[in-house]
Amino acid sequence: MILRWLNNLPLRIKLVLPTWLLMTSGVVLLGFAIEKIAEDKMEQSLIGRTEILTNAAAVNLTAALAFEDQRTAFEQLEALRVDPDLIGARVLKSNRTEFASVMDLPSDCHPTDASIMCSDTNFERVKKPIVLGQEILGFIEVYVSREAIEEERHFLVGYLTAGTSLLSLLALVFAQMLHRLVSHPLASLHQSMSSMLRLGVFGRAIPVKHKDELGQLTACFNDLISNLSERDYQLKQTLNQLENKSQYIGEVLDTMEDGVMVIAPGDVVTYFNPAAEYLLRRVNCSPRNLTKLLRTFEPVSRVHALSHAIDKHQPMRGIELTHTATGKVFQVSTQPMAAAQHSLVQFDDVTDQREAEQRRKLAELIFDKSQDATLVMSRDLTIKTQNAACIHTFGVHHSWHTMSTDASYRLSYAELKTLLTTGNMEWHRMLSGHGGIDIPCQVVARTLTNHRGRVEGFVITIVDLSAEMEIKRLNYIANHDALTGLANRAHALDKLTQDHDKERDMHVLFIDLDGFKSVNDQFGHQVGDELLKVVAERLKSSVSRRDFVSRLSGDEFLIALYGNVPVDTVANRLLEKLSDEIVINNCKPKVSASIGVRYWSANDPSSLAQVIEQADKAMYDAKANGKNRFSMSEKNAITTKLV
């Protein structure tokens, strides 16, 4: 009873009510989708930003963790506070003990050994390893609050609720307008068709199920069909005659570059053009047997779907099939034909297109995910695109000149010619990073050429050398004497041992200054330090570049002379250089040197400690014999010589 009542309702209600309900429902669903997508985007942005900061901090913390520098580690963590959503960060050693931490926890949160705990505040944790080479030194954990996301979500829900209400009203107005646009023309059409009934005859009728405007229109349409049935029969006869005249169509199909096949019921191939035969012969297939042909392609599900569409005389467009033996990719479409339930199958080899597309996607992925800053420039050095690492390190730039700290720098003609000729070039320079910080960088430029070989632009890869230079600086400090710049004791012992293991012959000279204590007592330690610097320079200038000079401690120095050298000549030169007058701050400190020499051949089994001890004894022998001379330490005797 209710259903009959609904069916007999006026078209106005049938049209307005569903339209309003559908549009209102659509707006509500769209609002929920927008709210969900916005929340996901904000969450992805929060996590992505936190991971970028964490990765950068992990790189910067490598040296601090390697040298147990908690102050530097704390400064790196303090730098993370630029992120307003940060509530905590800490650095853990490889044994999971805490090395440094920074916490700005809300009142409902408190730290634990493994993480932090919050009763109300939602947060995200990002954890990254801190590595040096292949060794994991520790981990950095960063905690960020989700409060900003929740606030944005509440605002968005409010706006969507107001917007949904407004759009619902607009949908109702639109439904009313739609009713006027549809019902009025239908009423007019009904009147016009009623007048045509007097000129027609009745034929096969469509049953009228409802007594609304559409029902009235259906009754009129039945009358119109009766009048047009005869004309339709005549038109079909004409179309059948045109389809039988397929010679012209066949000529057109023969000139197509895509493969075309006509399939009759029962999977019988009634026609294929030359392009179809050529494409299938390339994969050792024949177009004459459709069933056998389809067995050579995969995936099986798509092959079955295509076969079903052909059998059921249904259209199917743009499916891709892969030839099992050769890996060739074909794009296949089928379209039903009006004549005798035939199907028109069209296909093309798109292997090269797909491979090019995959290479392009892979290149885009490599470009965007590269850890090195990468950008693409035009010929006039306008920056066209930057990857994420470049934007993170240097910010968004539109020209290469704005990235350089030296605005006056330009490539010379020779350098530009080299770049354009060889296609690549590498140089080092300072670039301006975020906050105006100068970053030492290695810049690698490669040219982009078009199909005619003309250079259209450049791909620039920038490697940040800050961490590498810092490690080199720390390594230099660890292996060199801070006062003189010479290698220190640890470096000297390590290098000489390695050189001897490499079977290198050498003379080891142990040098002690004569009268250095008197200089300190007479002129002060400042003059004594300056004197040690002068002595270091004179020692280096008295030996060749391949030889090794180091300061052991105080006024003791160690020199290694490699190979077969006239040690007497070198020792005398050292004694003369050190005895020359020295003037420091109008003071003339007077020193000389006593030198002990020990030859350490490649096949000598003595340890370095034994060699240095024997050279030390020879040095004391030189002091005992009057100083300002050198003594040679042999296996069974010591020979002293005066300069």
CA dihedral 282, 283, 287, 289 (to 10 degrees): 160
Task: For residue 383, give the nearest of 368, 395, 397, 369 by alpha carbon.
Answer: 397
Give yes or no for residue 7 having a pLDDT over 70: no
The average pLDDT across 557-584 equals 91
Give yes or no for residue 500 having a pLDDT over 90: yes
Q: Please give the Cα distance from 50 to 177 (Å, whole number).
A: 51
- Cβ–Cβ < 8 Å for 349, 297: no
pLDDT of residue 200: 47
pLDDT of residue 209: 54
Tell me which of 597 and 476 has the higher pLDDT.
Answer: 597
Give the model's confidence band at 643: pLDDT under 50 very low, under 70 low, under 90 confident, else very high.
Answer: very low
Single-letter residue type at 141: E
Q: Please give the Cα distance from 72 to 470 (Å, whole number).
A: 13
pLDDT tens across 600-640, in order?
999 999 999 999 999 999 999 999 998 999 999 875 445 55
Task: For residue 553, give the nearest of 613, 489, 479, 480 by alpha carbon.
Answer: 489
Tell me which of 399 and 486 has the higher pLDDT.
Answer: 486
What DSSP assignment string belongs to 101-121?
A: EEE---TTEEE-SSSEEESS-
- The model carries a pTM of 0.40
* Beta-bridge partners for 526: none
The average pLDDT across 178-190 equals 58
532: CB partners within 8 A, 6+ apart: 483, 484, 551, 555
pLDDT of residue 218: 63
Q: Would you put residue 627 in left (φ > 0), alpha (ψ -120 to 50) or beta?
A: left
The average pLDDT across 513-521 equals 89
pLDDT of residue 501: 93
Q: Please give the Cα distance from 607 to 500 (Å, whole number).
A: 9
pLDDT tens across 10-30, in order?
666 666 667 767 777 877 787
Give the model's confidence band at 75: pLDDT under 50 very low, under 70 low, under 90 confident, else very high.
Answer: confident
Query: Percent of the chain, pLDDT > 90?
Result: 17
Query: Pairing mode, if any, of strands 373-378 and 455-464?
Result: antiparallel
pLDDT tens across 461-480, in order?
888 877 778 788 888 888 88
pLDDT of residue 84: 82
pLDDT of residue 248: 62
Domains of the chain: 9-194 (3.30.450), 200-244 (no CATH), 254-349 (3.30.450.20), 370-465 (3.30.450.20), 480-642 (3.30.70.270)
Query: Helices marked H in 336-397 — which ranges?
Result: 351-369, 388-394
Give the model's confidence band at 550: pLDDT under 50 very low, under 70 low, under 90 confident, else very high.
Answer: very high
The tokens describing 273, both together, are 């053009």
Q: Please give the Cα distance from 162 to 174 (Å, whole number).
A: 18
Give yes or no for residue 328 having a pLDDT over 50: yes
